Amino acid sequence: MTAAEREITAPVDLCLPNGRLNPAAVGWTRRPLHRANLRGWGRRKRWEYWGIVTPGHIVGLVASSLDYAGVYGVYVLDRATGEEIAKDAVVPFARGAVFPERCGVGEARVRGGGLAIEIAQDPGGSSIRASAPGVAVDVRVPLPDGHESLGVVVPWGPNRFQYTVKDLGRPVHGTLRLGEKEIVVDAESAFAVLDHGRGKWPYSAVWNWAAGCAPGRAIQLGGRWTDGTGVTENALFLDGRLHKIGDELEWSYDRADWLRPWRITGARVEVEFHPFHERRARTELGVVGSETHQCFGRFTGRARADDGTWVDLDGLVGWAEEARNRW
């Protein structure tokens, strides 16, 4: 099914003064235009995820607030050996956490459980610092002129909704320190992906997400939690320009063997994803729980641009995941 989505081209508030979803905010954007003026307490979700891919490592940084808890994470995969470093923290009531209302403006800061993540955003890009036992990240993610990202509001209902920005293929440079070893992150061979989220989610949520990048090309694919809402999180990026894909996609993968190829298909998408590593993350804290299978790998296949041309996606590197959350 293809969704008839509306492109938003002017700044808009996510919420009405009473805290409900602003109908004028429902649609998609090519650059961040929403102000996440969330109201109330208890069901608000604020989320910043940065993924960084280099020839030798994959880094994942999570800073999130669920109101009643802060959930933070620093993850590093050595692509050559498969060795993982995963440091996670849960902080009651997300004490001390700071999240801006707008994507690309202001600072996000979290600290607790031996972890610290600071994200400073300005018109030229984002500066990211993160530390955990044995790990330190210090990188700059410039924002190229004319670069476009996908912003989407998912409207489950007037009191349950999600605003997300998926920003793929950003250049990144700086350093990654593992123990006493310092690794240079070179903008010529590395890229960064942002997943920015603000909203009031249902207690239980399941989603699929895939993101893959190569010089001049990137693919962003979503599924499950947007089904039936009239919006999708799907897009092709060519030289930094967004080609919105309104089709709901079919996801096929083996939950008994996550490293088998995944297939993601629709009218404008014919993709296979070939994992080389599975990351498993599970949290159980009574009423709060999550289980994520995030596979890193390479993409093959093709996607169709706005002008009808099929674009080869062979060689893109990134991830595909299934996440199940109760929070």
Q: How confident is residue 3, by pLDDT bands cut at 50, 70 and 90?
A: low
Q: Residue range 306-325: average pLDDT? A: 96
Asked if 59 and 52 touch (Cβ cutoff 8 Å), the reply is yes
Residue 85: strand pairing partners:
76
Token reading at 174: 């700086």
Q: What percent of the chain has pLDDT over 70?
A: 98
Looking at residue 96, what DSSP letter applies? Answer: T
pLDDT of 15 higher than 60: yes
Instruction: Please tell me which residue, 203 or 321, carries the higher pLDDT value.
Output: 321
Q: Residue range 126-151: average pLDDT? A: 98
Token reading at 6: 């509306």
> How do residues 18-52 score in pLDDT, each as one tens digit?
999 999 999 999 999 999 999 988 789 999 999 99
Q: Residue range 148-173: average pLDDT? A: 97
Q: CA nearest 72: which of 108, 44, 125? A: 108
Q: Residue range 76-102: average pLDDT? A: 96
**pLDDT at 61 (0 to 100):** 98
**pLDDT at 84 (0 to 100):** 97
Asked if 174 and 181 touch (Cβ cutoff 8 Å), the reply is no
Terminal-residue alpha carbon distance, the chain: 30
**pLDDT at 170 (0 to 100):** 98
**pLDDT at 2 (0 to 100):** 62
**pLDDT at 205 (0 to 100):** 86
3-state secondary structure the chain: CECCCCECCCCEECECCCCCECHHHCCEECCCCEECCCCCCCCEEEEEEEEEECCCEEEEEEEEECCCEEEEEEEEEECCCCCEEEEEEEEECCCCCECCCCCCCEEEEEEECCEEEEEEEECCEEEEEEEECCEEEEEEEECCCCCCCEEEEEEEECCEEEEEEEEEEECCEEEEEECCEEEEECCCCCEEEEEEEEEECCCEEEEEEEEEEECCEEEEEEECCCCCCCCCCEEEEECCEEEEECECCEEECCCCCCCCCEEEEECCEEEEEEEEEEEEEEEEECCEEEEEEEEEEEEEEEEECCCCCEEECCCCEEEEEEEEEEC
Q: Residue range 177-196: average pLDDT? A: 97
pLDDT of 326 higher than 90: no
Q: Residue range 263-292: average pLDDT? A: 90
Q: Residue range 43-71: average pLDDT? A: 95
Mean pLDDT is lowest, of 147-151, 189-193, 278-282, 301-305, for 278-282
Mean pLDDT across the chain: 95
Model pTM?
Answer: 0.96
**pLDDT at 42 (0 to 100):** 77
Token reading at 249: 């996609």
Distances (CA, A) of 5 to 45, 234, 244, 266: 24, 12, 9, 16
Q: Residue range 101-120: average pLDDT? A: 97
Q: How confident is residue 318, by pLDDT bands cut at 50, 70 and 90?
A: very high
pLDDT of 287 higher than 80: no
pLDDT of 283 higher than 80: no
**pLDDT at 1 (0 to 100):** 55
**pLDDT at 281 (0 to 100):** 86
Max mean pLDDT range (43-47, 111-115, 281-285) = 111-115
Q: CA nearest 298: which of 266, 272, 280? A: 272
Q: How confident is residue 299, by pLDDT bands cut at 50, 70 and 90?
A: very high
Mean pLDDT is lowest, of 18-22, 67-71, 233-237, 309-313, for 67-71
